[in-house]
């Protein structure tokens, strides 16, 4: 089958990372996978096995997701958006996918509903329309108005054949963060968590005994980084490695550097996951992919969920993980170097966390579900 996955990450890179993991799972099963990305480039993410198509990129203006900035850093105008819509329509027409997957939409990305609708309409206009699925993480940003949930239900009913919920229902069900109507419930398919393979420990032992501080691949986390730089002075017996994300990482590292602190600051790196099994502890936000990295490796972890603006997704996820051994939750509003050090000592002395009990095969399960639904739709495989 030919698979097309459409994703636009606006702040961090978690949505793109999950889309690429899904694409690799389809490719591993012998299918042709294409990911069309509408966010800024994320060179630290592997695209192996997947064809990546780049739209004119967008990012949010901080946490103002209704204000979208283009490649030049200015507000994207209608001409810019039209170029994206036209490229999406041309891509679906030329590729003629058997399966179309939209990441997050229609449960989010309302500011991009024009281009997603254009993509969906083009797909449905094909001589043999594809199976259409929405792909969502375990926890969504709850709708700020009831109408948003109604609108999502209407889009699902009109254009979609199913919704892939990338969660283990034993741990988190969608209705923990989103109002699930009876009609929507019939379209849900829980896949388990979409995670890459468990990371192999770094062959050079990088990260051994270190406190690894990260905030994803986007341009957020400066307050967390600054706190870690100060905290490193209070725990000099451990090496602190602070991985700064975003395209402007070098400039931010320069601004964050404190000659009195022993912390090492460097840009986010692609071998980060391989460093986690060696680490003494992790300090991070609590995005979907980061949470899975922590669960897969069992590393002691202090979670400082991203909660700027009206963001609650990471806080909900962190609250669900906090009861596990070796995990501590520290809200950003009350974070200080002293509290961070105390939380680190706590998790490093806690009982080691088990690595089983969660379903991490969500990518391969998504492939199986898509194949079954495609056969049901068209009566055979392409």
Domain borders along the chain are 2-197+360-378, 211-349
Residue 259 confidence (pLDDT)? 95
Q: What is the pLDDT of residues 224-244, one digit of tens each?
A: 999 999 999 999 999 999 999
CATH number listed for the domain at residues 211-349: 3.40.50.2000
Place of tokens 């929507």: 184
CA distance 169 to 286: 19
pTM of the model: 0.84
Please give the average per-residue pLDDT across 247-273, as a whole number. 93
* CA 104 vs CA 9, 26, 169, 172, 248: distances in Å: 10, 19, 18, 17, 26
Least confident of 162-171, 200-209, 266-275, 371-380: 371-380
Residue 382 confidence (pLDDT)? 44
β-strands 51-61, 64-69 pairing: antiparallel
Cβ neighbours around 298 below 10 Å, total: 17
Residue 210 confidence (pLDDT)? 97
Mean pLDDT of the chain: 93
What are 83's strand-pairing partners?
A: none
Confidence of residue 355 (pLDDT cuts 50, 70, 90): confident
Q: How many percent of the chain have pLDDT more than 70? A: 99
Q: Do the domains 2-197+360-378 and 211-349 sit in the same CATH topology, yes or no? A: yes
The residues, any chain, with a CB within 8 Å of residue 340's CB and separated by 6 or more, are 227, 228, 231, 283, 302, 330
Kindly provide the b/e burial profile for residues 71-91, where b requires at least 16 CB atoms within 10 angstroms of the residue's own CB. Answer: eeeeebeeebbeebbebbbeb
CATH of region 2-197+360-378, choose from 3.40.50.2000, 1.10.3720.10, 3.40.50.720, 3.40.50.300: 3.40.50.2000
The residues, any chain, with a CB within 8 Å of residue 223's CB and separated by 6 or more, are 332, 335
């Amino acid at each position: 089958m030919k698979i097309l996955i459409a994703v636009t990450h606006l702040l961090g890179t978690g949505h793109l990372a999950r889309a690429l993991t899904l694409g690799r799972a389809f490719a591993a099963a012998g299918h042709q996978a294409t990911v069309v990305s509408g966010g800024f480039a994320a060179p630290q993410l592997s695209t192996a096995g997947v064809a990546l198509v780049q739209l004119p990129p967008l990012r949010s203006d901080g946490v103002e997701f209704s204000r979208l900035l283009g490649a030049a850093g200015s507000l994207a105008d209608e001409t810019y958006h039209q170029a994206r819509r036209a490229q999406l329509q041309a891509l679906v027409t030329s590729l003629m996918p058997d399966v179309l997957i939209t990441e997050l939409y229609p449960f989010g990305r309302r500011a991009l509903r024009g281009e997603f609708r254009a993509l969906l309409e083009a797909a449905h206009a094909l001589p043999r329309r594809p199976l259409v699925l929405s792909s969502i993480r375990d926890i969504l940003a709850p709708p700020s108005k009831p109408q948003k949930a109604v609108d999502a239900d209407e889009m699902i009913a009109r254009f979609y054949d199913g919704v892939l919920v990338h969660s283990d229902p034993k741990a988190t069900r969608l209705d923990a963060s989103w109002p699930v109507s009876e009609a929507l419930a019939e379209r849900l398919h829980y896949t388990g968590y979409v995670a890459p393979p468990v990371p192999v420990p770094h062959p050079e032992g990088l990260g051994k005994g270190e406190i690894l501080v990260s905030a994803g691949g986007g341009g957020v986390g400066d307050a967390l980084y600054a706190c870690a730089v100060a905290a490193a002075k209070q725990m000099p017996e451990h090496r602190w490695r602070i991985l700064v994300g975003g395209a402007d990482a070098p400039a931010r590292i320069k601004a964050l550097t404190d000659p009195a602190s022993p912390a090492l600051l460097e840009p986010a790196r692609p071998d980060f996951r391989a460093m986690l099994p060696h680490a003494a502890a992790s300090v991070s936000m609590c995005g979907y992919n980061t949470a899975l990295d922590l669960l897969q490796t069992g590393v002691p972890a202090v979670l400082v969920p991203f909660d700027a603006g009206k963001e609650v997704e990471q806080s909900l996820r962190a609250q669900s993980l906090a009861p596990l051994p070796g995990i501590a939750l520290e809200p950003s509003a009350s974070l200080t170097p002293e509290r961070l050090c105390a939380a680190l000592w706590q998790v490093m002395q806690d009982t080691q966390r088990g690595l089983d009990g969660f379903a991490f095969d969500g990518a391969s399960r998504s492939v199986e579900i898509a194949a079954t639904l495609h056969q049901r739709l068209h009566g055979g495989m392409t």
